[in-house]
Structure 1
Amino acid sequence: MNIADIATSDFVELDADVRLGKVRSIFERENPKGIVITEDGAYAGVITQKQLVQSHVEDNAKAGAMMRSAPKVERHDDVREVARVLVEGGAKIAPVFEGGSLWGVVTGDDILEAVLENLDALTVEQIYTKDVVTITEETHVGQAINLLRKHSISRIPVLDDDGDLSGMVTTHDIVDVVVRDMNKATRGDRSGENDRVLDLPVYDIMNSPVATTSLDGSVRDAVERMLENDFAGLVVTPDHDDSLVAGIVTKTDVLRALTFTEEEHMDVQITNINLLDNTISRDDIREEIGDVASKYQDMQVQHAHVRFHEHKEKLRGTPLIQCQIRLRTNKGQAAGSGEGYGSDTAFNVALDKLQRNVLEMKGVRADEEYRGQLLRKLGEL
């Protein structure tokens, strides 16, 4: 299946100098899938409605200040490759070109809707993310913000005093309450209001009840719920016990599963690949992870996901980078994370942590048929 069967011409093209007030009115009036921004007639970036709604940027700002870069794809690209491009670029939408001309747009949701029937044979347990960060109801909003930034995530499950799932806090929830309170305050009061919001317990702003799915639930059912309710993800619970947190499954997890291939070498996926500098490449990353796996003869790496995130801090012009590595192996999942100035340093710190975590893996149920099963189940795409 190529992307021409999925992409749509339901988009609007605007110049970067257009005011956001006009962008908002276009979304309200025409409800396009996205807006493609150009500068001097050349493609520059995209704006989505959700991004605009969550931004709280004033109407007189220029569209160029709001746009985000998104990878370009070709009209006849394979759906697996487009899914990879979206995941690695951290994008929800991509412009589709044909012969150098803008032809349409495609979103992650479009792809998931198109392959929905093929997802029925997959279970949530095969693709979900384990070992998620959690907080308690008494955690302050300021502490939650720090965790969101540190782990480069957009949502955190909230547990009550008994360790049971009681809510969910997202970056959107925090932005909403901060902007609402700041708008109520006068200019002189804003510093105090901001401190007050940061000291609030997350219980005051969390969403409850939380949308969940079970480990043995079908990926199709999970994706349908996410699409119908505009959820980015669902909390995964074990054995149909909605009070416990086993992990999270997101739309990105599903898109990532679509990219698995039967290549001879290990499949490596990199999120925010643009942060790689001249000191490290995709091949370097694959080789280094392969070296770690080769030390443990009974462990076979089926898929590796490496995520880079850039912090604002710099040292002599080199940005502080966070790197997270997650391996899916025939012995279960293994992960490691680290920070350093430059992507090469960050990757090596994360790789060292990963190796130590691999050594500590004990008693994890083997799943030697995982890769073959997943490829067969997705083989009709």
Structure 2
Amino acid sequence: MSDKDSSIITKYVSVDGNKPLSKVVSMFKEKTREILVFEENDVFLGYLTKRYVTHQSKIQPDAKVSSLIKQVPTVQKDSAPDVIARAILSEKIFSVPVVENGKVIGVIRDIDLLRDSEDIFGSKKVKEAMTKQPIVVTSDTSVAKFIATCRTNNISRTPVVNESNELVGIMSPHDTTDLILSKSPKKLDMLSTAVKELMTQEVVTCTENDFLIETLVKLDSADHKALIVVDKENHPVGIITTTDLLETVSMPPETEGYYFRVLGDVDDSDMEPVIDMGVEVVKKYADIIGTSGQLFIHAKAIPKRKFRGEILYQVRVRISTNKGKTYVSRSDGYGVFGALAVALDRIEREIVSERELEIQRGQTGSERYILEEIEEL
């Protein structure tokens, strides 16, 4: 980012790290999802994020803000767009602090970075970047079950559907922040409340044939940083988020072939073999999916859950290619390699099924052509 682009650096909301959490939660309103935490002498400590607060199972409302901060990377005023995008993606944050002369001078929001980089998207369509077959919940699902679904699948929002699988809302753990921190004796009753009582009913949607560049304005106005992709019957068929678009921006401009990126809880010693597993898949199917693109692997460890010494991992794999194909898979398993193997296997199955369908369509077309030729004779 050059100095002429510094207009995308915006103001931020901040708080003293010694304040009790209960006094700060009210600051999470409207579009405020992250609060910068400082101590004396304006020393930057980290972020207090709405996402982090809502994903905690046990929180004391009187706990100090500094006890719940999230360490985040910072960028310079002249950092390149791909560097900024990778900083945001690395910690699943919505903005990144900009530092100059050792002081935080502002933040760059994900949506502002995307707008500043819109030329990258060209004529690409939503179907080339969306996650297909999103996890959904019904409007009668309890809040407790909804929260468990999000934690189990490591997701930040879900479409809400009725009994006919029609989209009626969108729900995020962020919508339950006040409930999670509540001291009310009725908290357990509130957890049994149906999500339809808390969900956002006015959902921002798009279709799979919309251009990505058109989604940027919609994403900025969407409460949950996501657009639900619907078909003609208003059934959710996909979801597209700022993360999906940031992954495109994060690829270094000089990259040739595939760009590989591993995020999350992967040890340095495991990094190379994890990447090798992804390389094997894209090389194996290069003639079908394309010879260049991106492969992102997000891994989250759940240390409290173990089996025979192996920690449970939740893995998300996303492959987008120069042929306009996108494959997304989630899985969990004990040990990062086991979880990743399952996710990659699912993508391989999808690629093979897609190829078989294309062959069948080609054969059907050829047979139709032959029949037409015979009829003319």
Cα–Cα, structure 1 residues 46 and 178, in superposed 2: closer, same or farther, change >3 Å? Answer: closer
Specify the code of the residue in structure 2 equivalent to 1:348. A
Match of 1:246, SS state, is strand
* 1:262-273 equivalence runs, <5 A: 263-272=255-264
Specify the code of the residue in structure 2 equivalent to 1:254. L
Contact 2:117 2:249 in 1 (8 A): no
1:220 aligned residue? 213
Could you tell me which runs of 5 or more consecutive residues in structure 1 were left unpaired when the two chains were aligned. 367-381
Following the alignment from structure 2 to structure 1, what is the Cα–Cα distance between the partners of residues 27 and 145? 37
* 1:190-339 equivalence runs, <5 A: 190=186, 193-194=187-188, 196-238=189-231, 241=232, 243-260=234-251, 261=253, 263-272=255-264, 275-281=265-271, 283-299=272-288, 300=290, 302-315=293-306, 319-329=311-321, 330=323, 332-339=325-332
Match of 1:85, SS state, is helix
Deviations 1:332-381 (A, max 9, x none): 33343333444344333433444344333346779xxxxxxxxxxxxxxx
1:45 aligned residue? 46
Following the alignment from structure 1 to structure 2, what is the Cα–Cα distance between the partners of residues 204 and 94? 33
Match of 1:361, SS state, is helix
Deviations 1:66-89 (A, max 9, x none): 322211222221012211221122
Cα–Cα, structure 1 residues 294 and 35, in superposed 2: closer, same or farther, change >3 Å? Answer: closer
Deviations 1:150-189 (A, max 9, x none): 2111111122222222222221234445666x62x3xxxx
| CA radius of gyration, larger in | 2
Contact 1:167 1:208 in 2 (8 A): yes
What value does the CA root-mean-square deviation take over the aligned residues? 3.9
Following the alignment from structure 1 to structure 2, what is the Cα–Cα distance between the partners of residues 24 and 179? 9
Deviation (angstroms), 1:208? 1.9
TM-score, length of structure 2 as denominator length:
0.76
Matched residue count: 350
| Identical-pair percentage | 23
Following the alignment from structure 1 to structure 2, what is the Cα–Cα distance between the partners of residues 364 and 81? 39
Deviations 1:180-212 (A, max 9, x none): 6x62x3xxxx5xx51x34444333433224221
Cα–Cα, structure 1 residues 203 and 98, in superposed 2: closer, same or farther, change >3 Å? Answer: closer
Specify the code of the residue in structure 1 equivalent to 2:85. A
Match of 2:220, SS state, is helix
Following the alignment from structure 1 to structure 2, what is the Cα–Cα distance between the partners of residues 145 and 39? 36
Following the alignment from structure 2 to structure 1, what is the Cα–Cα distance between the partners of residues 178 and 27? 23
Following the alignment from structure 1 to structure 2, what is the Cα–Cα distance between the partners of residues 171 and 253? 20
1:161 aligned residue? 163
Deviation (angstroms), 1:331? 7.6
Specify the code of the residue in structure 1 equivalent to 2:255. E
Could you tell me which runs of 5 or more consecutive residues in structure 2 were left unpaired when the two chains were aligned. 360-377
Match of 1:216, SS state, is coil
Following the alignment from structure 1 to structure 2, what is the Cα–Cα distance between the partners of residues 25 and 351? 42
Cα–Cα, structure 1 residues 16 and 342, in superposed 2: closer, same or farther, change >3 Å? Answer: farther
Match of 2:158, SS state, is strand
Q: Give yes or no for the alignment of 1:171 onto 2:162.
A: no
Specify the code of the residue in structure 2 equivalent to 1:213. C
Match of 2:36, SS state, is strand
Contact 1:14 1:37 in 2 (8 A): yes
Deviation (angstroms), 1:36? 4.2
Cα–Cα, structure 1 residues 54 and 176, in superposed 2: closer, same or farther, change >3 Å? Answer: farther
Contact 2:204 2:228 in 1 (8 A): yes
Specify the code of the residue in structure 1 equivalent to 2:284. K
1:127 aligned residue? 129
Following the alignment from structure 1 to structure 2, what is the Cα–Cα distance between the partners of residues 232 and 68? 20
Following the alignment from structure 1 to structure 2, what is the Cα–Cα distance between the partners of residues 236 and 117? 22
1:371 aligned residue? none
1:138 aligned residue? 140
Deviation (angstroms), 1:127? 1.9
Specify the code of the residue in structure 1 equivalent to 2:314. Q
Deviation (angstroms), 1:322? 1.0
Deviation (angstroms), 1:308? 1.3
